[in-house]
């Protein structure tokens, strides 16, 4: 099958396109992964022409890659672009797009990718306009890529999906969650299913609990318009963190085929225990950062950020305990947390194993013996760390903690932006790392009771100091006295 002829970027001058999409597409050019036939169309409102856009693109690449920019690859890449000026909410603007798409490309190609890097409220309008302009043709297998958030709750996600399906078949829809493009996240699958020694340990008999953390040092910056309507639960937990949870908890798929993989992920989401309303406050906590200092500089409280109403109840931090009610995970809590303005940028999955059934070393200082941990550091550090005990050399039988650490990337191996992998998959038509609608639906079902509960009250909205690890109140989540957050990979 030939690849697409055109890749149209809606919202081409937006932050996401500038910081993630363009550098990742350039990377694919550099790696020789873009077919000669593929052309890009930048679609945006600004009164520019192709020449002006190409100057902008050169600037973006120079800023991102500096002296490491490969001039020949950059030239090839920039030449692939045409700029179409237009307001995507206006059906008339699509005629220019149509003309561009009808321009023949060299080589064999047959479809168009539409990448919607636009506010979610505009998705439906754009899909309708594409349809009206005759640009949703299924004959050439056009593809449509939508960024998260997919809806703002279960019913809006369903409405959006129904509208998408009026114009596109499911095989044409690519719902992005960029966490699935991260190599360390994909590594969870390889680590679990390519190593036969792991499987016997990967269950409630050996695992005490699982922690999934996505901590950010930065605040919400200029994104109040989006973030204050979203909050951390929608922005991070419903999508990224629940996706990571599915990869930790899923059964082995029969193959890496897109549907086999997603069938197993959705089973995990279906098994997440429904939280009774009267215990929501014990298993789901939220907070906002207060004012303070980070790295010696004063930072504003969440409510004082530009664009945030000073009575906002939107959470910049959320911590939740889930249980996966199935044979493998019965009784094993999954603690998830995410927040902005925390002590460090750190995304990781930490698996804590059970204590040995009988403590043999208790005459030694073994009160301080933490059970074994296996930690997947996702970013910024990328490593797999296993903590085991061995005897400390000397005259006494004292256990000493050993850290078996693998930074799985060799020094010469380049770190890829998560988007590069996902964009290549879109171009090649592989949907394994994209979210199927039943996953979206289940993820909304899982968090909706919490969303509803939080929207009905301003009580128990905690405050945490910027630069800290979040509110101390989250300790109520832990089921045993020896459980607590692990902050270091």
The residue ranges that bind ligand BG6 (CB under 6 A) are 216, 235, 347
Q: For residue 123, give the nearest of 160, 158, 168, 91 by alpha carbon.
A: 160
Closer by beta carbon to ligand BG6, 412 or else 415: 415
Give the residue closest to ligand BG6 by C-beta.
235
Cα distances (angstroms) measured from residue 292 to each of 16, 171, 222, 304 = 29, 48, 19, 12
Cα distances (angstroms) measured from residue 433 to each of 82, 234, 261, 314, 332 = 29, 20, 9, 30, 26
At its nearest, how many Å lie between ligand BG6 and the CB of residue 397?
44
Q: For residue 381, give the nearest of 348, 333, 424 by alpha carbon.
A: 348
Closer by beta carbon to ligand BG6, 216 or else 439: 216
At its nearest, how many Å lie between ligand BG6 and the CB of residue 152?
13
Closer by beta carbon to ligand BG6, 106 or else 221: 221
At its nearest, how many Å lie between ligand BG6 and the CB of residue 223?
7
Instruction: State the catalytic residues.
Output: 240
At its nearest, how many Å lie between ligand BG6 and the CB of residue 216?
6
Closer by beta carbon to ligand BG6, 208 or else 216: 216
At its nearest, how many Å lie between ligand BG6 and the CB of residue 24?
12
Closer by beta carbon to ligand BG6, 187 or else 347: 347
At its nearest, how many Å lie between ligand BG6 and the CB of residue 346?
10
Closer by beta carbon to ligand BG6, 172 or else 347: 347
Closer by beta carbon to ligand BG6, 110 or else 217: 217
């Amino acid at each position: 099958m030939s690849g697409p002829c055109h890749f149209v970027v809606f919202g081409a001058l937006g932050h996401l396109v500038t910081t993630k999409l363009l550098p990742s597409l350039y990377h694919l050019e550099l790696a020789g992964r873009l077919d000669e036939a593929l052309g890009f169309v930048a679609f945006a409102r600004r009164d520019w022409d192709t020449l002006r856009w190409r100057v902008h693109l050169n600037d973006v690449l120079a800023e991102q890659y500096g002296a490491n920019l490969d001039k020949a690859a950059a030239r090839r890449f920039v030449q692939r672009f045409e700029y179409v000026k237009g307001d995507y909410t206006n059906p008339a603007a699509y005629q220019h797009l149509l003309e561009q798409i009808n321009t023949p490309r060299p080589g064999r190609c047959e479809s168009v990718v539409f990448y919607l890097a636009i506010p979610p409220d505009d998705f439906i309008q754009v899909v309708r306009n594409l349809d009206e302009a005759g640009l949703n043709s299924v004959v050439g297998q056009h593809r449509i890529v939508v960024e998260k958030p997919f809806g703002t709750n279960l019913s809006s996600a369903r409405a959006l999906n129904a509208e998408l399906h009026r114009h596109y078949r499911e095989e044409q829809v690519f719902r992005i969650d960029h966490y699935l493009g991260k190599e360390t996240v994909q590594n969870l699958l390889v680590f679990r299913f390519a190593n036969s020694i792991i499987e016997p340990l990967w269950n409630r008999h050996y695992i005490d609990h699982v922690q999934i953390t996505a901590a950010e040092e930065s605040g919400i910056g200029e994104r109040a318009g989006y973030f204050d309507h979203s909050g951390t639960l929608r922005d991070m937990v419903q999508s990224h963190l629940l996706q990571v949870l599915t990869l930790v908890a899923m059964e082995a798929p029969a193959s890496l085929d897109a549907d086999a993989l997603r069938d197993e992920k959705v089973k995990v989401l279906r098994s997440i225990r429904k939280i009774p309303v009267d215990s929501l406050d014990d298993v789901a906590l939220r907070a906002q950062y207060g004012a303070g200092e980070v790295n010696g500089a004063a930072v504003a409280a969440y409510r004082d950020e530009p664009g945030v109403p000073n009575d906002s109840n939107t959470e910049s931090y959320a911590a939740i305990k889930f249980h996966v009610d199935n044979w493998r995970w019965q009784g094993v809590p999954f603690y998830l947390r995410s927040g902005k303005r925390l002590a460090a940028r750190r995304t990781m999955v930490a698996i804590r194993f059970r204590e040995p059934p009988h403590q043999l070393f208790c005459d030694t200082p073994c009160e301080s013996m933490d059970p074994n941990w296996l930690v997947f550091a996702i970013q910024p550090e990328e490593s797999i760390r296993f903590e085991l005990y061995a005897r400390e050399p000397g005259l006494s039988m004292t256990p000493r903690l050993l850290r078996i650490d693998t930074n799985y990337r060799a020094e010469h191996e380049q770190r890829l932006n998560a988007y590069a992998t996902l964009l290549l998959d879109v171009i090649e038509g592989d949907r394994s790392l994209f979210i199927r609608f039943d996953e979206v639906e289940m993820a909304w079902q899982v968090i909706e009771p919490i969303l509803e509960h939080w929207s009905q009250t301003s009580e128990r909205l905690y405050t945490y100091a910027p630069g800290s690890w979040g509110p101390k109140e989250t300790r109520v989540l832990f089921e045993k006295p020896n459980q607590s957050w692990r902050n270091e990979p």
